[in-house]
Amino acid sequence: MTELSKVSVTALKGVGEAMAEKLAKVGLENLQDVLFHLPLRYQDRTRVVPIGALRPGQDAVIEGVVSGVDVVMGKRRSLLVRLGDGSGVLSLRFYHFSTAQKDGMKRGTHLRCYGEARPGASGLEIYHPEYRALTGDEPAPVEQTLTPIYPLTEGLTQQRLRQLCQQSLAMLGPRSLPDWLPHELARDYQLAPLNEAIHYLHNPPADADVDELALGHHWAQHRLAFEELLTHQLSQQRLRESLRAQRAPLLPIASRLPAQYLANLGFAPTGAQQRVGKEIAYDLSQPEPMLRLVQGDVGAGKTVVAALAALQALEAGYQVALMAPTEILAEQHFITFKRWLEPLGIDVAWLAGKLKGKARAAALEQIAGGTPMVVGTHALFQDEVKFQRLALVIIDEQHRFGVQQRLALRQKGVGGQLCPHQLIMTATPIPRTLAMSAYADLDTSILDELPPGRTPVNTVLVADSRRIEVVERVRAACAEGRQAYWVCTLIEESEELTCQAAETTFEELTSALGELRVGLIHGRMKPAEKAAVMAEFKQGHLQLLVATTVIEVGVDVPNASLMIIENPERLGLAQLHQLRGRVGRGSAVSHCVLLYHPPLSQIGRERLGIMRETNDGFVIAEKDLALRGPGEMLGTRQTGLLQFKVADLMRDADLLPAVRDAAQALLARWPQNVSPLLERWLRHGQQYGQV
């Protein structure tokens, strides 16, 4: 029997070239694809519900006799049909109807309908039901299974998709759809056979638990989710192995430069910084590439750890590249590293997209000539950037860079032969469940201690009707010699409008607080202008900084102890936490005022409530994951990540430990099954494990 993955959709009845093109748009090229295109939800058309038993919001099949037909002239002309079955009466309402349709519904006509019952002007109504007239004495048969509702694409109807799935199911068998999970593995993890699960999900029996299916907790969904998560795990293991199999420069543990650096630093590293520093130093001294993710809450001192790692490579005579997602953050790293490294006699080069002409040519020449430390934006990924002896790449805020971009760095290693070590830093704590799946190719270190002298930020919620009080609070703080931020958030995802709002707020606050020096910074300003304003604020020349969320990461002004965030309900928890982390960096008690616009939605209330309750980034990350889901949290640009067909990282988090074990077992005992699994699940646009 031919494997369904090798049978084109054109083998199905009624699928010509045009239809095949439409199907290809949703990734359906062969019959295996069709069978893995699973329903989003189900309708129960297996029984007729008495009209008297209908509840508002219920989808149901009903039968009855037409007792009246009227064309009603309201705001819109509609056809109203009264239908009764002895237990009750309801109306069918059609806004689009023809004369023929109206004539086909005379009084006394026996109809069977399907639709959602809604409260209307005269009791329950169904808008535009599916219906047919019943003739003869024989009751027409109802559906034997639940009716699947599939994800659609333009030019494909539910009816059409159902027909294609049913045709494909007719060819389904253990031989035509091989089960790549070995029998022992399936038995150990109590997984049903694949073809049974697929068959069930396309045709659930009439007594299937619709609620369980809707929640994704059914054994058939569980079986497919397990296989899909397992495949993602395998693809990342393969990626990791292919990277680990490469050689990397061996960097002996350094002593001279780190000792000089720490002596100049002015404070001792925390216990967590020392522990993570040792983990990194050990990795760098090995001949295979380090792949380490350092998670640290806002202000935990990741940059110090990064500097210690850089010094190990620099002492061994190699180059280090540090890359940040935005120019403002990259520029801050550049200033910091210059301040730290130049006293040690180490040159620091700078490269960003904004560098043009001679300045750019000079920077490229410096890098190719071997300047030890290079700081920049993702411009460092570009082909024309050639390093002389690159041994370590430090990436800040990993979730802003796709996996593929990380891989591109391999070509930039020493002589194109040795793969650079990779140290990835994030101030967005990633819940363990997510890290297990999303970053399975990385080792993880956690900085779970704040440096001494940091003060927890006191967070309060204030309705924007009290804006004048808040402005006075800013005046009082600045009169005491403190500095403050006023953050304007995104207006419906429009950067332009947000910048305009920031400008308006700047003008309002400048006139309201005439005695204060107020600065403005937003995304539409030139990088040089932004840098100049930031420098003035940092030096204390400006007392209040009005900004958009461009200040989210990396801004360090210890004297700023008050932050106002306008319309915080527009932001996710992680972003609010990042913004709040800009205050509380000195020894003064710091405050964050969330100036919200009532009424708040349920999720908005929960989100802001969490911000008030805790300063712990990991607690916030867990809650954020629960409220928003993983895709948003990791950033949509994570190539090959989280585009699951069946699995859901939140719902199926409890499967992840078993999935990891199963992946190890499969790699050790049944390695021949790995490629077919990757081919089945990750063929479309996710060449994730293929480097």
What mean pLDDT do residues 649-659 have?
Answer: 82
The domains of the chain, with CATH numbers, are: 4-43+147-215 (no CATH), 51-133 (2.40.50.140), 256-447 (3.40.50.300), 457-614 (3.40.50.300)
pLDDT for res 554: 56
pLDDT band at 1 (very low <50, low <70, confident <90, very high): low
What mean pLDDT do residues 75-101 have?
Answer: 89
pLDDT at 152 over 50: yes
What mean pLDDT do residues 250-255 have?
Answer: 92
Cα–Cα dist 290/267, whole Å: 28
Tokens representing 85 are 């079955």
For residue 201, count other CB atoms closer than 10 A to its CB: 23
What pLDDT digit, counting tens, does each position of 514-528 carry?
899 999 988 778 877
Distance of CA 263 to the CA centre of its chain: 41
Tokens representing 560 are 């700023």
pLDDT band at 604 (very low <50, low <70, confident <90, very high): confident
pLDDT at 413 over 80: no
pLDDT for res 403: 59
pLDDT for res 347: 94
Cα–Cα dist 341/337, whole Å: 6
DSSP 678: H
- Give the residue, 452 or 436, on which the prediction is more confident: 452
What mean pLDDT do residues 107-120 have?
Answer: 89
Average pLDDT, the chain: 84
pLDDT for res 670: 94
pLDDT at 374 over 90: yes
pLDDT for res 636: 37
pLDDT band at 655 (very low <50, low <70, confident <90, very high): confident
What pLDDT digit, counting tens, does each position of 416-447 carry?
678 899 998 887 666 666 666 666 667 888 88
The owner of tokens 């205050």 is 583
Strands annotated E in 362-507? 373-376, 390-396, 421-426, 443-447, 457-463, 483-487
Asked which of 198-212, 499-513, 540-554 is least confident by mean pLDDT, the reply is: 540-554
Q: Supply the DSSP string of 210-273, one letter for each residue.
A: HHHHHHT-SHHHHHHHHHHHHHHHHHHHHHHHHHHTS-----PPP-HHHHHHHHHHSSPPPHHH
pLDDT band at 634 (very low <50, low <70, confident <90, very high): very low
460 by DSSP, 3-state: which? Answer: strand
- Give the residue, 452 or 400, on which the prediction is more confident: 452
20 by DSSP, 3-state: which? Answer: helix
pLDDT for res 317: 94
The H or E element containing residue 471 is helix 467-479
Cα–Cα dist 19/33, whole Å: 15
CB 419 within 8 A of CB 243: yes
Burial label for 416, CB within 10 Å (0-12, 13-18, 19+), is exposed
What mean pLDDT do residues 499-524 have?
Answer: 88
The owner of tokens 């619709």 is 210
Beta bridge partners of 652: none
What pLDDT digit, counting tens, does each position of 525-540 carry?
887 788 889 889 988 9
For residue 75, count other CB atoms closer than 10 A to its CB: 5
| Torsion sign, CA atoms 495, 499, 505, 509 | positive
CA distances from 383 to 117, 380, 386, 409, 587 (A): 60, 8, 7, 10, 45
What mean pLDDT do residues 284-311 have?
Answer: 88
The owner of tokens 């009264």 is 82
pLDDT at 131 over 60: yes
Cα–Cα dist 185/269, whole Å: 47
pLDDT band at 228 (very low <50, low <70, confident <90, very high): very high
Asked which of 281-295, 327-341, 462-476, 612-626 is least confident by mean pLDDT, the reply is: 612-626
Of 354, 401, 360, 397, which is closest to residue 381 (Cα–Cα)? 401
101 by DSSP, 3-state: which? Answer: helix
Cα–Cα dist 490/497, whole Å: 8
pLDDT for res 493: 59
Beta bridge partners of 77: 73
What mean pLDDT do residues 647-670 have?
Answer: 87
CB 460 within 8 A of CB 593: yes
Beta bridge partners of 321: 374, 393
What mean pLDDT do residues 107-123 have?
Answer: 87
pLDDT at 644 over 90: no
Tokens representing 149 are 């509702």
pLDDT for res 690: 35
pLDDT band at 635 (very low <50, low <70, confident <90, very high): very low
For residue 629, count other CB atoms closer than 10 A to its CB: 15
Q: Measure CA of the first residue to CA of the last residue in the chain; give whole Å.
A: 33
- Give the residue, 22 or 409, on which the prediction is more confident: 22
pLDDT for res 315: 95
pLDDT at 361 over 80: yes
pLDDT for res 684: 54
Residue 153 — φ and ψ, nearest 5°? -130, 165
pLDDT for res 643: 62
pLDDT for res 638: 37
- Find the length of the chain: 691
Tokens representing 79 are 């056809």
CA distances from 522 to 106, 396, 402, 506, 525 (A): 66, 21, 25, 11, 6
